[in-house]
Amino acid sequence: MKTGAIFIIAVILSLMIQAPALATEETGAVRTTSSSLYKVGKELVVSISIDITRDFSPNESMVLIPVVSDSLEHRLELPPIYINSRKQHIIFLRETRKKEKEAQALQRKNGERQTLHYLQSAPFDKWMNRATLSLVEKSCGCGIPGTEDFTCIARLHPQPTPVPQLAFLTPQIEKSKIRKEKGSAFIDFPVNVTAINDKYSNNAAELNKIIETINTIKQDSNVSITHIGIHGYASPDGPLKVNERLSHERTQALKEYVSRLYTFEKKNIHTSYTPEDWEGFEALLGDTTFRQKEAVMEIVTGDIHPDRKERILKTQFPTFYRFVLEHWFTLLRHSDYTIEYYVRPFTVEESQKVFDTNPRNLSLEEMFRLALTHSPGSRMYNKIFMTAAQLFPDNPTANLNAACIALMQKDTKTAASFLKKAPAVPEKTLAEGVVSFLQDDYERAETLFQQAKDAGLSQAAENLKLISELK
């Protein structure tokens, strides 16, 4: 390696940058106006433009040597560039040209702006994937070789690492698209009363939750309601037998209320009830922190008759019981409802409008077909796949495809979270290889790509070629 400091101006693969001056004097400058280093087929091409406005002395000559190198020991000097005074140019033509036939030269005409365009190529080698271009400057006068000098001409702007190929999974066709809307209504009743009074307490607003859900579904011409489920819960306070009767009759009352508003067949409305919601009690207790929590939890979850549970809580934890009687039991008196409905299938042409208005009506397979009508990597293409993962969060195929979208954007963290729910298929192995590749773990990436290739994925073979080129 020659002495001096080498300054990086560019990296390979079609990188174009503007370069500052090589040297500056009061009378002008010699500077690069552009420089590039890129790969064309099996050739490495170097292009440099130099603008000269500085006047040269009679015996002055400047030699610029483009150097391609990497961070290791690889170094390639390209044919030099000579900028000569008139006298030195004559010497160059008589002597130097015979030795350096590929050298490029320009005779300086003082007082004028001159531009030199340098273009050279060299056989491409693997190490050049990590190469940078530098410009070594030598100057001399009076025919005596001068000292080697280096001038900064650009900053390093590496080209982003390419994303290896990925493989998406085609979802299975959903034979019958059944969707569900769920909610909870907290309807209040006076003591021992089972009839619904929509003017009592906050009942109007709670009943409206159910009505609005049903109306929203019924207004959609693409769907039809197939089933309504109502499950009533009573709180754990009071005798079990009383609560059993109240929860049953109050659930029936809600069924009749809904039936009066709509013309649903009775067989399409199903009711069930839980006399005392101890599971809900346990859930609230689990989110609470206090000194006696473990002892209370043992009672709540124990194999004890519900009435005895309540007595123990009253007597052994009176302060806590008063608290839950005031704050929790109202939350444990609720009616959970499920509106089940059928969605008709859609063509690809129809799917875009449905996606824009109500994507829940699309199946995973319909979303997939819709995504394929958009350019890979486009905003809508990415949005469709990510929306699919949101609407089908537990679907392995949706998660794998969402991971691929994240990897196309080099988001390895998000991709890894989706891959946890992806199926154990070669496409997942391929995606895991891409994660390793983007994390610069080429060894693991190569192993995973090889496994995917052995499983028959053509994308894996291409990714192995990419790793081979980068080694």
CATH number of the domain at 44, please.
2.60.40
Kindly report whether the global pTM for this prediction surpasses the value 0.75: no
SS3 7: coil
Does residue 354 share a domain with residue 382? yes
Residues 102 and 28: their CA atoms lie apart, in Å, by: 28
| Domain presence at residue 96 | yes
| Domain presence at residue 430 | yes
Residues 285 and 109: their CA atoms lie apart, in Å, by: 90
| Domain presence at residue 157 | no
- Domain final residue pick, 289, 308, 341: 341
- Domain final residue pick, 319, 341, 363: 341
Does residue 74 share a domain with residue 29? yes
| Domain presence at residue 171 | no
Check residue 10 and give its pLDDT: 33
Q: What is the count of structural domains for the chain? A: 3
Contact present, 236 and 276 (Cβ < 8 Å): yes
298: exposed, middle or buried (Cβ count in 10 Å: 0-12, 13-18, 19+): exposed
Q: Which domain holds residue 389?
A: 345-470
| Domain presence at residue 268 | yes
| Domain presence at residue 426 | yes
Please, what are the averages of pLDDT over each run of 10 residues along the chain (471 residues)?
34 37 55 80 84 90 87 85 92 89 92 91 82 77 47 45 91 93 94 93 96 95 96 95 95 95 89 96 93 94 95 95 93 95 96 96 97 96 97 97 96 97 97 94 95 96 88 64
CB within 8 Å of 48: residues ≥ 6 apart = 32, 34, 35, 36, 66, 81, 117, 118, 135
Does residue 53 share a domain with residue 24? yes
Range 97-103 contact pairs with CB under 8 angstroms and sequence separation of 24 or more: 103/79
331: exposed, middle or buried (Cβ count in 10 Å: 0-12, 13-18, 19+): middle
- Domain final residue pick, 312, 341, 370: 341
Does residue 381 share a domain with residue 324? no
Does residue 389 share a domain with residue 360? yes
CB within 8 Å of 362: residues ≥ 6 apart = 346, 351, 354, 355, 370
Does residue 462 share a domain with residue 380? yes
Does residue 356 share a domain with residue 305? no
Contact present, 450 and 465 (Cβ < 8 Å): no
| Domain presence at residue 248 | yes
Does residue 65 share a domain with residue 42? yes
Does residue 355 share a domain with residue 334? no
Does residue 319 share a domain with residue 389? no
CATH of the domain at 213: 3.30.1330.60
CATH of the domain at 440: 1.25.40.10
Cβ atoms within 10 Å of 99's Cβ, excluding its own? 7
| Domain presence at residue 181 | yes
Does residue 137 share a domain with residue 34? yes
Residues 400 and 308: their CA atoms lie apart, in Å, by: 50
Does residue 27 share a domain with residue 135? yes
Nearest to 425 by CA among 391, 460, 392: 460
For helices 240-261 and 203-218, the axis angle rounded to 10 degrees is 50
